[in-house]
Chains A and B, each alone.
Chain A
């Protein structure tokens, strides 16, 4: 009967009370195999559905499991830990229920077991419990799980390493204190050693753990960096597995976010080039942390932004901006471009040369873009335009831009044209002067002042020639002209 139940359990979603009441006495059976199978069946049921997991909790099975977890053999321990994991993964309330019945201590005891399977199951259960919120993580830490998890990481079995790394990642992601607890045990050194392991799933978890530790504060990030992960992490950016790339770029982003010195470090080791190549080789959400990293690095100072430009990141970002379908990735790319281009005219020129400004403008004006995308592209356009003196890129803006952006464009022209004669000539022949005459501005407004200063750079005849209605005025003069009677 028990094997039948075990086989059928994935397919029985309803009649749960009946099942629970059936399985419960089986847990107390004399034969160990029956106990294990019953536990396994419970675990599968709970794994399938949150309601079933609640039923498991309500059926008062957990204390029984916890009690027998301490005593039985390893197969039972594995099965029981599986049940706890299955129950704890659905919601914080269920995890709290598990904590309330004192399962944490027994799980921690299981972590000290000899059998790697038991350790893996216990670590998995702890990881799932700690995932939900900071209190549960704290409870897990208080039970003394962290040093044992670090010991688990050092074990030779790959699966155990994976699970232990994932558990550490889940513990440290909630708050700086928890991350500090993890760091105090010396987890960083071991995690850093495992970056070079060829197994890609392990790399994912390790990188994720390091990024969760590094994201909280400057000190933690510096500690992660001191473990000498650079430039080894950059090789992970070239990995075949997309999630390894994503987690590696997340880690680099979290480190670069804090201070200019850390960003400097990353730039010195060639991190920007590696991230740029990584962005180029993947699509969609995988790119997002890399794009944000470039934005953070460029935001700190203009030297760093220049280093980002030198690493050929700007063409890559503009490619992302134009080809990505998702709005939030476009918004991130627009933000990053704005951070790069806002510092000095050279930076703005480097951004403008790649023809991204029209793309940004079209994103800002299009009604389909989300509000976030519109705001970010508008800010990027404004900050780049404030410094842009590269006139060929500004000229298309004269024709399509809305009035609030047109003001800045005309302002930039009025700053550059008085000092550059070639630019003046180009401005006239390309039709820019004509377009400027056609702009209607309120008298006394800033736009009118800019237009006046542009007009004062040219002789009056040319300005009159290009002002609208001049051919009509000429024809009127022809009409009213009386030739001399010879």
Chain B
């Protein structure tokens, strides 16, 4: 009984305690629940991440082996090709050596003898000289003909067939009555005569030119209609020959002094062109003794320094704003360059998903009736039309068949 009373006294307290403890627990329940959830989720996350790491590692290994295999194949192919090329190059080089020697030998031996040609041309020019100065008697001429023939005979190749006549001596010069030196003398006399004649002609021409020049200078002395000139005196029967000369002469124009062309030194071009990479317009340097322009000007070196100061941007401006992206692109491009295999490794789950999706005609065409075939009959593809404009009715339609079957008579109907 006492316990019961004690319990009853404590029951309200118990109730309150019970209530408080439950509610207190309730307060923390959510917190604890959340905490438990957080811990579990973090732990599960760790688990799964470990699993993913494992998977990545495995996939990397597989891909590594596969890429290695492809690369080795590729490498072997390259090595084979290189080897073949190297061998062929060697063979070609050796063949070229052989051919070089053979061709040189063949040309030198059978086709063309360069030294023979040189000798021949020398002999020809010597013979020419002899012919040219054959005033010295025909004996030398004969000698040289023999000499030429002898030289040609010495180097007898099939290239230059020599006529046999050249080998015969010169006693065939028949009909030649005068001895050599007399002919020589005669020739010299003729020569002297010719020279004299030429000199006289030259003198005459000089005189003529001088007179002509004088006439040109004295052109103003020509007689006019009103006033007779000096040489056309009215007391003479006919005018002086100088008059006629003056008539024929062209007046002499005094030479204008030549305008000195100053070379315009373009200093301005030097300063105007401000790009650092431009070429100078002219090769002439400016003159050294430039006179100073008036005025307090700054020192030219300072000015040029300022003008040609190179750009000094801040760090903010020095780097572009999407530098990171560009660097990534750069890296990717470099790696792509070295790739053996360009195909992406697809996940196996998508392995079967390689068909292109073809949609239904029903769902991809327009909903509703098509006006083609009832409204308009032109092709739907404008490229197949023959002209841009719409067709016009040129002829008026006539109603041939409008009354068909609507008349009461039975004429023409097949029964």
Q: Which residues of A contact B (CB under 8 A)?
A: 193-197, 225-226, 228, 230-232, 234-235, 238, 240, 261, 264-265, 267-274, 277, 303, 306-307, 310-311, 461, 465, 471, 474, 477-478, 481, 483-484, 486
A residues near B138, Cβ cutoff 8 Å: 235
Contact, CB under 8 Å: A268 / B278: no
B residues near A238, Cβ cutoff 8 Å: 134
Q: Within the assembled complex, what's the spacing in Å between the Cα atoms of A257 and B138?
A: 27
Contact, CB under 8 Å: B121 / A307: yes
In the complex, besides A194-B175, A264-B160, 18 extra interface pairs with C-beta distance below 8 angstroms are A196-B176, A225-B163, A228-B165, A228-B168, A235-B138, A268-B152, A268-B162, A270-B124, A270-B144, A272-B128, A273-B128, A310-B121, A311-B125, A465-B279, A478-B272, A478-B273, A478-B274, A486-B306
Complex partner residue of B127 from A193, A268, A461, CB under 8 angstroms:
A268
B175 to chain A, nearest CB (A): 4
Contact, CB under 8 Å: A270 / B127: yes
Contact, CB under 8 Å: B174 / A269: no
Is B215 part of the contact surface with A, judged by Cβ < 8 Å? no
Is B148 part of the contact surface with A, judged by Cβ < 8 Å? yes
Contact, CB under 8 Å: B128 / A270: yes
With A269-B127, A311-B125, A311-B128 already in contact, the answer to whether A232 and B173 are too (CB < 8 A) is yes
With A273-B132, A311-B124 already in contact, the answer to whether A193 and B175 are too (CB < 8 A) is yes
Q: Quick one: closest A residue to B163, CB to CB?
A: A265
Q: Quick one: closest A residue to B112, CB to CB?
A: A303
A residues near B166, Cβ cutoff 8 Å: 265, 268-269
Contact, CB under 8 Å: B278 / A474: yes
Contact, CB under 8 Å: B124 / A196: no
Contact, CB under 8 Å: B131 / A193: no
Q: Quick one: closest B residue to A271, CB to CB?
A: B131
A residues near B306, Cβ cutoff 8 Å: 486
Q: Quick one: closest B residue to A429, CB to CB?
A: B283
Among all A-B residue pairs, the 6 with the closest Cβ atoms:
A273-B128, A270-B131, A270-B127, A196-B175, A270-B128, A274-B131
Q: Within the assembled complex, what's the spacing in Å between the Cα atoms of A269 and B125?
A: 10
Q: Quick one: closest A residue to B313, CB to CB?
A: A484
A and B contact pairs by CB, cutoff 8 A, 11 listed: A235-B134, A265-B163, A265-B166, A268-B124, A268-B162, A269-B131, A269-B166, A270-B130, A474-B278, A483-B274, A486-B306
B residues near A306, Cβ cutoff 8 Å: 117, 121
Q: Within the assembled complex, what's the spacing in Å between the Cα atoms of A267 and B166?
A: 12
Q: Quick one: closest B residue to A276, CB to CB?
A: B128
A residues near B132, Cβ cutoff 8 Å: 273-274, 277
With A265-B163, A268-B166 already in contact, the answer to whether A310 and B175 are too (CB < 8 A) is no
A residues near B130, Cβ cutoff 8 Å: 270
Q: Quick one: closest B residue to A475, CB to CB?
A: B272
Complex partner residue of A231 from B121, B141, B161, B174, CB under 8 angstroms:
B141
Q: Quick one: closest B residue to A193, CB to CB?
A: B175
With A193-B174, A226-B165, A474-B278 already in contact, the answer to whether A267 and B131 are too (CB < 8 A) is no
Is B172 part of the contact surface with A, judged by Cβ < 8 Å? yes
Q: Quick one: closest B residue to A230, CB to CB?
A: B165
A residues near B144, Cβ cutoff 8 Å: 270
Is B311 part of the contact surface with A, judged by Cβ < 8 Å? yes
Q: Quick one: closest B residue to A268, CB to CB?
A: B148
Q: Quick one: closest A residue to B283, CB to CB?
A: A429
Contact, CB under 8 Å: A267 / B173: no
Q: Within the assembled complex, what's the spacing in Å between the Cα atoms of A474 and B174?
A: 84
With A231-B145, A273-B131 already in contact, the answer to whether A307 and B273 are too (CB < 8 A) is no
B residues near A195, Cβ cutoff 8 Å: 175
A residues near B163, Cβ cutoff 8 Å: 225, 261, 265
Contact, CB under 8 Å: A477 / B275: yes
B residues near A484, Cβ cutoff 8 Å: 311
Q: Within the assembled complex, what's the spacing in Å between the Cα atoms of A273 and B311?
A: 75
A residues near B149, Cβ cutoff 8 Å: 268
Q: What per-residue 1/0 map shows which CB atoms of B273-304 lie under 8 Å from chain A?
A: 11100110100000000000000000000000
Contact, CB under 8 Å: B174 / A196: yes
Within 8 A of A (CB), among B117-148: 117, 120-121, 123-125, 127-132, 134, 138, 141, 144-145, 148
Within 8 A of A (CB), among B23-55: none
Contact, CB under 8 Å: A197 / B175: yes
A residues near B129, Cβ cutoff 8 Å: 273
Contact, CB under 8 Å: B278 / A228: no
A residues near B152, Cβ cutoff 8 Å: 268
B157 to chain A, nearest CB (A): 12
A residues near B272, Cβ cutoff 8 Å: 478
B residues near A196, Cβ cutoff 8 Å: 173-176
B residues near A265, Cβ cutoff 8 Å: 163, 165-166
Contact, CB under 8 Å: A474 / B273: yes
Q: Quick one: closest A residue to B126, CB to CB?
A: A270
Within 8 A of A (CB), among B183-212: 190
B residues near A273, Cβ cutoff 8 Å: 127-129, 131-132
B17 to chain A, nearest CB (A): 83
Q: Within the assembled complex, what's the spacing in Å between the Cα atoms of A268 and B149?
A: 8
Contact, CB under 8 Å: A228 / B175: no
Within 8 A of A (CB), among B238-291: 272-275, 278-279, 281
A214 to chain B, nearest CB (A): 15
With A231-B145, A238-B134 already in contact, the answer to whether A267 and B124 are too (CB < 8 A) is yes
Q: Quick one: closest A residue to B307, CB to CB?
A: A483
Q: Within the assembled complex, what's the spacing in Å between the Cα atoms of A195 and B162?
A: 24
B residues near A310, Cβ cutoff 8 Å: 121, 124-125, 128
A residues near B121, Cβ cutoff 8 Å: 306-307, 310
Complex partner residue of B161 from A261, A271, A277, CB under 8 angstroms:
A261
Q: Within the assembled complex, what's the spacing in Å between the Cα atoms of A433 and B339?
A: 46
A239 to chain B, nearest CB (A): 11
A residues near B274, Cβ cutoff 8 Å: 478, 481, 483
Q: Within the assembled complex, what's the spacing in Å between the Cα atoms of A156 and B128?
A: 35
Q: Quick one: closest A residue to B172, CB to CB?
A: A228
A residues near B172, Cβ cutoff 8 Å: 228
A447 to chain B, nearest CB (A): 27
B residues near A486, Cβ cutoff 8 Å: 306
B residues near A272, Cβ cutoff 8 Å: 124, 128
A residues near B176, Cβ cutoff 8 Å: 196
B151 to chain A, nearest CB (A): 10
Q: Within the assembled complex, what's the spacing in Å between the Cα atoms of A195 and B176?
A: 10
B residues near A474, Cβ cutoff 8 Å: 273, 278
Q: Within the assembled complex, what's the spacing in Å between the Cα atoms of A272 and B131?
A: 10
Q: Within the assembled complex, what's the spacing in Å between the Cα atoms of A391 and B189?
A: 48
A161 to chain B, nearest CB (A): 12
Q: Within the assembled complex, what's the spacing in Å between the Cα atoms of A273 and B176?
A: 23
Q: Within the assembled complex, what's the spacing in Å between the Cα atoms of A450 and B166?
A: 51
Q: Within the assembled complex, what's the spacing in Å between the Cα atoms of A193 and B149?
A: 23
Q: Within the assembled complex, what's the spacing in Å between the Cα atoms of A82 and B135?
A: 43
Q: Quick one: closest A residue to B123, CB to CB?
A: A268
A residues near B278, Cβ cutoff 8 Å: 474
Contact, CB under 8 Å: A234 / B160: no
Contact, CB under 8 Å: A461 / B279: yes
Contact, CB under 8 Å: A231 / B131: yes
Q: Within the assembled complex, what's the spacing in Å between the Cα atoms of A484 and B125?
A: 76
Q: Quick one: closest A residue to B149, CB to CB?
A: A268
B residues near A234, Cβ cutoff 8 Å: 131, 134
A residues near B145, Cβ cutoff 8 Å: 231, 269
Q: Within the assembled complex, what's the spacing in Å between the Cα atoms of A238 and B187?
A: 11
